[in-house]
Each structure stands twice: as structure tokens, then as C-alpha cells.
Amino acid sequence: MVGLVRQTSSQVHIDASTVDLLGADLFTDYQPEEWVGGLVAAAPSGDAVRIVCGQEIAGIHVIAQLWDGRPPMGATDTEAWQDIAEVSVDWRSPLLDFGTTGDGEDQAQQLVMPGPGTYRIRVSARNRDDGDPREDGDPTEAVRIQVWQAPVEEECVIKQSSRTAHLWTDQ
């Protein structure tokens, strides 16, 4: 039976509309030409994934999970999240940092990886269309990142229902 190995979550400051998933060197110069499901893109060179958000500069809630196999996808997942997409990435770093503008020292913004290899990353997002900038009381944008070791597969869009996703897909 597939199980959750570890999970971390944090409020993350984004700048330039993206959450960057980076290796230990905390650097990428990758600029996606296309976004899978208007949501996510993986760098062909590995150790970098970008997630596009509905806001340019903001604080968003990020949940990162490491699984020991493909996480289940039930009706509650597709109801709770506006957009869901998957990509494969070659990951060589011992951690996946999602701090975006941090210094790499906040362990709540890092997911420890089991080792180098090919991983599948499923990104789910919600509250992407609720304003930019947000007012007090507006819903907080949220992203869930689910990671597991798996052979390379085609990128796939599981759900695409936000206006933001359609905007980034139609570019």
C-alpha cells in the first residue's frame, strides 16, 4: 500500500508569480516556454521545477509531501483543488527547497529527498483567481506538491479549472 513518507508546510513569499522548487544550490536560470496545465514546468536539466501562481508578489501556503509511490487521487482531491498537473524531473539534490526567495535555511520550506533519481511531481493549486493583490480576508492561495520516485512519464493535466491556468496555457 502506498504511503506518505514525510510532509512539511510553510507560508512562502513569492516574487515574480512563481514558486521555484530547487535543489541544494538554490539556483536555476530555467524560464519555461510552456506551462503544463497553466500550472507547472520542469527544467529539462533537472533539479528545478517552477509553479506559476495567481499573484505576482504575495504570501501563499505550500504543502510538500514525499510519497513511497503514486499518491491516490480521489474525488476529494479533484473537488478541493482547482488545478492539478504532473511532470517528471531528474533530481540529484538531497533536498527539494520551495522557499522561493529564502536563504535555504528554513527546514520547514524543504523536503528531504531519498536520493538522486527520477521523480514524478504532482502539483495541485487552489484560490488562484481570488485577486492580485489580495485584501485582508481574501482566501490564501495554496499549492500542494506531491513527490515520488517514478520512471519518466509524459506530462499530464489532471484538472484545469481556474482562469489563471487558462491564461497561462493560452499564451
Report angle CA 102, 142, 156 to the nearest 5 degrees: 100
Phi and psi angles of residue 82, each rounded to the nearest 5 degrees, phi first: -75, -45
Contact between residue 19 and residue 143 where contact means Cβ atoms under 8 Å apart: yes
DSSP reduced 3-state for 143? strand
Tell me the three cell numbers of residue 97.
527547497
List of residues 6+ apart from 73 with CB closer than 8 A: 84, 158
pLDDT (tens place) for every residue of the chain, 171 residues total? 999 999 999 999 998 899 999 998 888 888 899 999 999 999 999 999 999 999 999 999 999 999 999 999 988 889 999 999 999 999 999 999 987 656 657 777 899 999 999 999 999 999 999 988 888 888 999 999 999 999 999 999 999 999 999 999 875
What distances in angstroms separate CA 102 from CA 60, 94, 140, one per listed residue? 14, 18, 20
pTM (2 decimals)?
0.94
Report angle CA 116, 118, 122 to the nearest 5 degrees: 120
Burial label, 34 (beta-carbon count in 10 A; 0-12, 13-18, 19+): exposed
